[in-house]
Structures are given as C-alpha cells and as structure tokens.
A and B are shown apart, each in its own frame.
Chain A
Amino acid sequence: MRWEDLRDLADLAVELAVKLGADYAEARFHEDQANFYMLRNGVPEVTGFERARGLCVRVLVNGGLGFASLNKPDKALLERRVREAVSMARASARTRKKPIKFSEEKAEEASWEAKAKEPAEDVPVEEKMALLFDIDKVLTDRAETGTQVPFRLLELTESITERYFVNSEGARISCRVPRVEFFSMITVTEPDKGTEQDMVQEGASKGWEFIRELKPIEKLKERARALGVVLREGVSPPKGSIDLVLGSEVVGLIVHESCGHPYEADRIMGREAAQAGESFVKPDMLGQRIGSEVVTVVDDPTLEGSYGFYLYDDEGVKARRRYLIKEGIINEFLHNRETAAALGVSSNAAARASGYNREPIVRMANTFMLPGDYKFEELLEDIKLGVFIKTFGEWNIDDRRFNMRFIGREAYLIEKGELKRPVRRPVLEITTPGFYASVDALDKNLGFTAGTCGKGDPVQGVPVWFGGPNVRLRGVALGGL
C-alpha cells in the first residue's frame, strides 16, 4: 500500500471498529505541513519544515473510550491498532459507574476551507528572510528605537493543515486551512535601569497578505521604543484603590484565561483535574451573575481569517458563536459531544485536536469581550488617579481559574483624565468575579492577538485569538509584595 493512500484507510478504520463491537467509531486523517524561519540576534538560527501525517481512530465501547493513531499505511497494523483501541475501551469501561455517552448530533457532510489571497508557500524564501533581517536591522538601530535591544528572537511560520473526518453515523467532513504566524521576543535595556522583555504573537488563517497587513517592522519598532521610555522614565505604581484601564491585549488574555478556560465543560466536570485543573464554575451556575451588565464574552470559531477559524469541529459538529457571558450573566459552556450528553444539551462544536495523534477535547477558538461605544479618551476622562496597562508580561491563573495575576509591561499613569508618565510593572492580582464585577466601561476599539493555547495530556497546542476592547475597571488596588 502506498503512503499516499493513508487517507483512504479512514473509512476502513471506522468499518473495522464497528465490526469489532464499537458502539460508535470515528477516524480522522490529519496532515500538517509547516515551514519555519528563525533569526536570532541577526543570525539565521534555523530554517526548515515539518511534515506530519497520520490517522487516528476513536471508539466508544460499553461506555469506555479508546483511541489509537498510526502513520504507516499498513492495513495489518491498522487492524491491530483498531482492535487494541476497542479492547482498551472495553477494559476502561469496567472502571466506569457512568458510561460515556455522546450527544445526538446531525451527521454532517461538508467540505470547507480558509482562503489565502497570497499563499505563503508562493512567496520566495528570500523575501521571508529579508523581512526578518529588516526587522532586526531596525531593532539594532538606536536612531530608530531610541533604546538598546541586545536580544532579538524573530520567527515566521507558515502552515497548512488538511483533515478528513468520518464517523459511524455517516458524517464526512474535509477541510484545508492555511495559516501564517509571526513571533518575536525582544529584550530592551537601558544603562542602570535593567531590562524589559516583550513578546509578540500574531497569526491568522490567511496567506502572506496577513504579514503585509501586520507591518511587523513598524510594530516592533514602536514597542521597543515604548519600553525604552518605560525603563528610563517609569515610576512606581500608585498604592491604594484606583481606577484601571486595561488595553485590548490584556483584556484578550484575561477573558481567555478567566472566562474561556473555566467555561470548558470538561474542566467543569473534572476531566482535566490532574493537569491544567478544574473550574470554579459549576453546572448550576448557569444564569448566575458574574460581572457587570456591560460585560459580554463570546467564543467564535466562525470569524473568517481568524487564527482559531473553523466551520466544523473535530467531532464533525457545525460551529457557531458561543455567548459565554451575556450582559454579566453566565450563559453557556464550551462543549464537545461527551460533556454535552452529560449535561443534557447539544454540542456547540468546541472539540478540537491539534494533530493526527491527539484526541479531540474541549477547546476555545477566538475568545473576546464584545466592545462598547466609548472612545478611548472617554474611558480616561473622569479618572482622577489611575493606571493604563497597555501590554502585559508575566501572567498566570490558578487551576480553578479564580485567582489571576497580570503584570503590566507598557503602562502609564492616568492623572485627571490624561495619560502621564510611564509606570513600571504594575501588578494586577485579582479574583475572577472581582475582575468582571469591576468593569464599568468599554471602548469601541476591538483588537485581537494570537496565541497557541495548551491543554490536555499530552499537551495539545491549538491556534486561538484573544480579543477585546480597552476596558475600564473601578476601585482596584494594585498588588505585589
């Protein structure tokens, strides 16, 4: 059998599994191609590509789940691994008091793709490397940045993922998604002032046109310049209760960490307890108030061109926008077919797998706070004393997603309604309900940044967007020791 024929084994895998006694079976052929280019401190550190392709099968037998993956187009091996998946599922089922069930869903037949106006693979390698060298040149020119940038790690990645999904209920979905990503990590230093580091990750399900729109040279130059000013002129953050304005980048990550993750139904039900953790949110909290009325947070895989774009999930369910918090009320969780059945609802298509050898689990796509109608200046105008945290550095959140911390990177004092001197490293350490209850106004500038969200065991990194407008919080004390 030829290696090119691996895809054709997906249907056979499902057929075999059912014949061996599976109550439900699905198979996914999944091919990932990625090219990457890295420049470190002006030296082309590594260039190359990865080609991963393979097939997986997931089976439900007597309420136990089994999974197997392989990358060889070998019918005998496929049969052996499908047989093992079925027998392991059966062995797992004996430990279960509650058999696993999947929600009833329409068996979809579809083919979808993300469009690249200018396919990244058609852009000459020389042009890609030239862009990285141009960025590096600007970053090392003090006349351009006004500061010193001794460490510069710059990366471009272009990828194409192709999948074919089939299950024993008759669903058949094919897709093709091209993506481009830009990543940078720079260290800015000023004599006797120490260092600040800045990380940028931007990505989209598009072609090279995204990099042209991004204008990374201008973007990194401005960020380096701003950090130089923070280092030279930054003052200590004010003490006591003040008002805060958080920039779109900060808001985006906050809603991803403190709304997206705790609303993943598998976390709520304890399936990730040993790794990423559980959730402070319980099933009976649907309909409860968590934030002020101006807060609405959605997760939407269907945004065309977004980094987390998809139209059908990896269980073959049609995607739609999910309203996680609606006007301050806990509205909906993220579900796959297993969690949906357990809570008596339908899947909202949040099942994603990062590669051929990974099971689909509950994931976010593009999570963001819906914008308001303020202008940015209007957010500031009645603040007597406050801090605008535009970008962040260090962050983390506990395993229940209740206690979080974000340290500002580029931040400014707000005095009498105006932005003033830079502030060095303001620490926002706050509970999740404390954050959502404190939000009182949002501007109309919705922005997104990209990330690779990690979850599962083994870890699955999936592309996502974080987003939101600039947001005002009332009466919050900055933290830290």
Chain B
Amino acid sequence: MELRELANLVLEEALKLGADEVAAAAERSVLRQVRFANNEVTIAKTWDALQVHVYLAKDKKIVVTSLANVDPEAVRKALKDLMALLGVMKARPDYAPLPEGPFEYEPVPGLYDQKLAEMEEEAVDLVEAAINKALEAGGKRVAGTLLLGEEETFLATSKNVEAGERRTKAQLVVRALADGESAGMGLTCGTRLADLDPEGAGEQAGRFAKLSLELKTLEPGRYDVVFGRPACAVFFDIVAGMASAFYVDSGLSCLVGKLGQKVASELVSLYDDARLEAGLGSRPFDDEGLPTARKPIIERGVLKTYLHNSITAKRHNTSSTANAGWIVPRPWNVVVEPGDRGDEELISEVKRGLFVNNITYVRFQDYAKGDFSAVIRDGVFLIEDGEIKAGVKGLRLSDNVLNILSSVKAFSKNARQTAHWWMEWGSPAVVTPLVLAEKIGFTVPTK
C-alpha cells in the first residue's frame, strides 16, 4: 500500500467515526546495520518496516497510537478502539487545534542519496576500512556500529495538510581500545555517502587509544576542560532537550522560568535548524504539518525560546515553533555556533586542565536545578602548558548544566555533524565545534 493511501485511509475512516481532528503519519523504512567488535563483524542486520502513527481529537480530548499492522481491517478496528477510548477520556483544558493548512514546503537539499539506500554488502567494506585505520593508528581492539538506509514519510491531517519526504542516513561510530583501560572514539555521519569518512573516524579512535596508553590518576577538583565533539553533542542534546516545553512543564528542565534571561556565557549561541542542508534531523514539516524553520534557542547567552507544538504553545501563550512531536516537542538539528580558533589553538590555551572527548551516562540528581554527573571516556587527557600529556582515569564529571553553560570560554571554528549512542535526549544530530570551559567539577571514588 502506498504511504499516501494509508494515511488517507486513516483520515477518512476516523472522520467517518466522528473524530473532530485527525493526523496520520505513514512511514516506510529499510535500514541496515553492521556491528563490529574485536576487529570482526559481530552481526549484520536489515530492518524493513511499514507503520502508521495516528492522532485523534474529539471534544478537546486526544488519543494517539502507533500501528505496525496496517492491514485496512486492523486499522479500522484500531480506530474504533481509539474512538471508544476518547469517549471515556477527560477534556484537556489546554487543548489546541491542529494547524490549518494547506502549507507550502520548501524542500531541504541534500537529504537523499540513492547509494546509501541501496548499499548492502559494501557496508562491510566501509567497516573494514575503519577497523584497519584504527589498528594502524594504534588501537588493538576495535568496535563500533555502521547504520545506514532510507526512510520515507507521508503526513496527512484533517486540516488540509498533505506532506511527504524521504531521506537517507548513515552513522559510523568507531571505538578503539588498546591495553588496559585506554580507549579512543571517532565518528562520522551524514545523509550522503560522500559525507562519510570511515578512515578518519578509525584514525581518531586509534590515535586516542594509543595516546592514553599511560593513564594517570588525578586529584578531584575543578579543572579547565576542552570537550571533544562527542561530549559536546551529549551536552547540547541535553540543553536543547530541556528547551522542549514538555520537559519544562514537567519539572524536568533547568530552563524553567528563564525565558529572556541569561543562562550561558555570551559566547554561547545554540540553534534548532530543521533546514540545515544534509542535516540528519532536517525536515520541511513537523508532525502537525507546520513548515519548519531555523530558530535560536540560546543567543549570545540569553534563552530565546522553548520548543513548542500547538498545545504547549497555547499553554505558554505563544506560537508553535514547528517542533511537534504530538506529545513532546523536540529539536531537529541542534547547531552550536562555532568560534574563531583551530582545535589545536583551543587546547594550547589551557595551562593545566583536561581534554574530555566523550561524556556518557549523564544522570541528574535534580533536573530542575541541572545538577548531574557523567562518566567521561574515549580519550581523557591531561593538558599541561597547552599540550596533551598523559591519559587520565578515574575522574567523574560532577557539575551543573547552567554552570557549564556559563563557564564556556571559547569554541573552536570547525563545527561537525555529530550523532552517537549516548545522546539520550533525542536530537537526531548536533553540529558542534570543540568547547573550552573553565573550572568544571570532577570527583573520584573514595574506596
């Protein structure tokens, strides 16, 4: 069944059953993944999926579903069940209607590459190239994941929205381990085969693993830190996620009540850009069918907007930012404004501090305040007199989101699209340079 046909089936049947408003997003995807560890491929996977997501509203009540059984009879039955559910629900005081279309959508360039859509066994060659480069650069055991494939969506709403898009994507993460605890990580990602640099990712992973062969332990305390791109991606994924009005309204954000206020160093400007050429999260329309745009979340240190869908916008007495998510508004591409120095220059400015390539396992004691700790890994080094010296082990990043934002002293000029497993707040990608921040807290185990 065509995606358009499936979405329209949902629309027609739900309206027939008495829904006031309907949105249906039909999706088809074929994705492939090659996983590897110990320099060998551990498994190759192919996922073939067709599903439809449904939003129904009646009398200011809302229900949603995802259906992986898109047989017309099963869809009809699910819609009947949803309508029955609506019957016993309570009305939302903050209900807002879906946006009234039709809208014009400007396509975003660079989102589809036939070569990625069709790549099968050649994916193993890309993985081998990355492994070999990581070994050459000093890694002993290399692990990682290559994900690639295509996704197609068609959205129809009862408010005259009809919108379709298709995209390809590829993400390669390489982690190299040498002796003991030494580790390094490199990654490459994009929407086109030409965007990928498997050898570059392998080289960085292997080089960092080799550089951390000798590991020192350091005293707990506050250090100046240069954060690598994987670490910055995790951190700014959280900041952008906390700008989602859903998390703001749930007490799961330290940006509550701070609109228009200074929340970061003046050097920090952070954008959500759905229109980024060849961006992994780029898209011409959001889940309600609104045309997307680039917008500042933080500009020169000031919090400019939360990310909204129609309902959260109504609750906050503002307009949607075209970041729906029917339930949770979310960022598309998080873009960190770069600075004016080279990566090496940034490191050379640190008298005594740390280089932290990746932060993982971020957990909060208090989302509302922003207090958290995180495991640091994949290339953690002592910087002395502007040069990377020994590898460092045993430290844990223990600080606060707002404090780190306020402690930023510089960005490097080379921003790159970054996506990896530890970005847990749901940004498809973060485009980020390296960041230098001052006096960041680190702790150690006591026993």
B318 / chain A contacts, CB cutoff of 8 Å: none
A50 touching B65, Cβ below 8 Å: yes
User: Contact string, A103-147, partner B, CB cutoff 8 A, digits 1/0?
Assistant: 000000000000000000000111001000000000000000000
Partner of A359, one of B45, B78, B361: B45
CB nearest neighbor in A for B94: A43
Q: Are B421 and A274 in contact (CB under 8 A)?
A: yes
Q: Within 8 Å CB of B38, what residues of A?
A: 269-271, 273
Inter-chain contact count A-B, CB under 8 Å?
Answer: 281
Whether the pair B369, A273 counts as a contact (CB closer than 8 A) is no
- Report Cα–Cα, A331/B311, bound state, in Å: 54
Instruction: Type the 1/0 row for B434-447, where 1 means its CB is closer than 8 Å to any CB of A.
Output: 00000001111111
Known A51-B69, A71-B49; judge A477-B446 contact (CB<8 A): yes
Q: Mark out the residues of chain B between 12 and 48 whose CB falls within 8 Å of any chain A CB in the assembled complex.
A: 32-48
Q: A405 contacts B373, CB within 8 Å?
A: yes
A473 and chain B: residue at smallest CB distance:
B447
Chain B residues contacting A344 (CB-CB under 8 Å) are none
CB distance from A189 to the nearest CB of B (A): 8
Which of A44, A96, A195, A480 sits near B366, CB closer than 8 Å?
A: A195
B49 & A274 in contact (Cβ 8 Å cutoff)? no
A229 touches B (CB below 8 Å): no
Q: Which chain B residues numbered 380 to 430 have a C-beta less than 8 Å away from chain A?
A: 394, 396, 398, 421
The answer to whether the Cβ of A438 comes within 8 Å of any Cβ in the partner chain is yes
Interface size on B, residues (CB 8 A): 94
Interface contact B88-A124, CB-CB below 8 Å: yes
Pairwise interchain contact A51-B46, C-beta atoms closer than 8 A: no
Q: Closest Cβ of chain B: how far from A265's Cβ, in Å?
A: 13
Q: Which of B190-198, B245-253, B345-353 contacts A (4 or more CB under 8 A)?
A: B245-253
**Whose C-beta in chain A lies nearest to the C-beta of B368?**
A195
Known: A48-B82, A71-B50, A481-B443. A457 touches B145 (CB 8 A): yes
Assess whether B63 is in contact with A96, with CB atoms less than 8 Å apart. Answer: no
B121 near A425: Cβ-Cβ < 8 Å: no
Contact B74 A394 (CB under 8 A): no
A278 and B265 CA atoms in complex are apart in Å by 37
> Restricting to B60-85, which residues have a CB under 8 Å from any CB of A?
61-71, 73-74, 78, 81-82, 85
Q: A49-B81, A53-B69 are in contact. Are A91 and B121 (CB under 8 A)?
A: yes
Contact: A405 with B396, CB < 8 Å? Answer: yes
- Please provide the chain A residues from 32 to 59 with a CB less than 8 Å away from any CB of chain B in the complex: 40-41, 43-54
Q: Which of A85, A270, A394 contacts B365 (CB 8 A)?
A: A394
Interchain CB contact under 8 A, A72 and B50: yes
The answer to whether A64 and B51 have CB atoms under 8 Å apart is no
Query: Which of A307-315, A362-370, A375-383, A395-403 is the interface stretch?
Result: A395-403
User: B421's closest neighbor in chain A, by CB?
Assistant: A275
Given contacts A51-B65, A196-B366, A399-B377, contact A68 B398 (CB under 8 A): no
- Roughly how many angstroms separate A53 CA and B252 CA in the complex, as a whole number? 32
**At the interface, yes or no: A319 with Cβ under 8 Å from chain B?**
no
CA distance A69 to B33 in the complex (A): 12
Report yes or no: B251 in contact with A68, Cβ–Cβ below 8 A.
Answer: no
Q: Are A394 and B69 in contact (CB under 8 A)?
A: no
A272 to B42 alpha-carbon distance, docked (Å): 10
A270–B68 contact, CB under 8 A?
Answer: no
> Once bound together, how far apart are the Cα atoms of A114 and B131, in whole Å?
45
Judged by a CB distance under 8 angstroms, whether A447 is at the interface is: no
Taking CB as reference atom, which chain A residue is nearest B396? A405
Q: Which residues of A contact B34 (CB under 8 A)?
A: 88, 92
Beta-carbon contact of A481 and B372 below 8 Å: no
Which of A11-19, A208-216, A414-422, A426-434 lies at the interface with chain B?
A426-434
In the complex, what's the smallest C-beta–C-beta distance from A200 to chain B, in angstroms?
Answer: 15
CA distance A171 to B446 in the complex (A): 50
Q: Which of A194, A434, A457 contacts B445 (CB 8 A)?
A: A434
**Nearest CB in chain A to that of B367: its residue:** A197
Q: How far is the CA of A393 from the CA of B41 in the complex (A)?
A: 38
- Within the complex, the shortest CB–CB distance from B416 to chain A, in Å, comes to 19
Q: A41, A54, A66, A481: which contacts B49 (Cβ < 8 A)?
A: A54
Is B96 interfacial (CB 8 A cutoff)? no
Q: Which of A48, A94, A151, A395 contacts B64 (CB 8 A)?
A: A48
Q: Which residues of B contact A475 (CB under 8 A)?
A: 447
Binds A, one of B156-164, B169-177, B329-337: B169-177
Q: A2-B71, A71-B68, A273-B141 are in contact. Are A185 and B49 (CB under 8 A)?
A: no
Cα distance, A476 to B442, chains bound together (Å): 19
A190 within 8 A of B: no
A68–B443 touching, CB < 8 Å: no
The chain A residue with its CB closest to the CB of B205 is A274
> Are B69 and A425 in contact, CB atoms less than 8 angstroms apart?
no
Considering the complex, give the chain B residue whose CB is closest to the CB of A361.
Answer: B43
Instruction: Decide yes or no: A64 and B64 within 8 Å by CB, A45-B327, A87-B121, A405-B373 being known contacts.
Output: no
State whether A197 touches B366 (Cβ < 8 A).
Answer: yes
Residues in A whose Cβ lies below 8 Å from that of B71: 2-4
Q: Give B244-265 interface residues, CB cut-off 8 Å to A.
A: 249-252
Residue numbers in A under 8 Å from B218 (CB-CB): none
State whether A92 touches B124 (Cβ < 8 A): yes
**Chain A residues within 8 Å of B373, by CB:** 394, 396, 405
Cβ of B360 within 8 Å of any chain A Cβ, yes or no, is yes
A479 within 8 A of B: yes
Residues of chain A lying within 8 A (CB to CB) of residue B68: 51-54, 71
Taking CB atoms, residues of chain A closer than 8 Å to B277 are none
List B contacts of A94 (CB < 8 A).
124
* B120 touches A (CB below 8 Å): yes
- With an 8 A cutoff between CB atoms, is B220 at the interface? yes
Contacting pair B37 A271 (CB below 8 A): yes
Asked if A46 and B64 make an inter-chain contact with CB atoms under 8 angstroms apart, the answer reads yes
- Which B212-227 residues sit within 8 Å CB-CB of chain A? 220-222
Q: Do B445 and A429 have beta carbons less than 8 Å apart? A: yes
Cβ of A153 within 8 Å of any chain B Cβ, yes or no, is yes
Hey, which chain B residues are within 8 Å of A438, CB to CB?
447
Measured CA separation A74–B291 after assembly (Å): 36
Distance, CA A472 to CA B327, complexed state (A): 44
Task: List residues of chain B with CB within 8 A of the CB of A67.
Answer: 43-46
**B residues in contact with A404, CB < 8 Å:** 445
The answer to the question of A84 belonging to the interface, with a C-beta cut-off of 8 Å to chain B, is yes
Contact of B78 among A51, A125, A195 (CB under 8 A): A51
Is A177 an interface residue when CB atoms closer than 8 A count as contact? no
Q: How far is the CA of A389 from the CA of B343 in the complex (A)?
A: 44
Give chain B nearest CB distance to A422 CB in angstroms: 16
By beta carbon, the residue of chain B nearest A36 is B64
- Of the A-B pairs whose beta carbons lie under 8 Å apart in the complex, a sample of 6, sorted by A's number, is A3-B71, A151-B252, A271-B143, A359-B45, A434-B446, A479-B445
Which residue numbers of B lie inside 8 Å of A, CB to CB? Answer: 32-51, 61-71, 73-74, 78, 81-82, 85, 88-90, 92-94, 120-121, 124, 127-128, 131, 141, 143-145, 173-175, 177, 181, 185, 220-222, 249-252, 327, 360-369, 371-375, 377, 394, 396, 398, 421, 441-447
List 18 other contacts, CB 8 Å, given A50-B66, A68-B47, A84-B120.
Answer: A44-B61, A46-B62, A51-B66, A65-B44, A69-B48, A88-B44, A95-B36, A97-B39, A187-B368, A274-B145, A274-B175, A359-B45, A425-B365, A430-B445, A434-B447, A435-B447, A438-B447, A479-B446
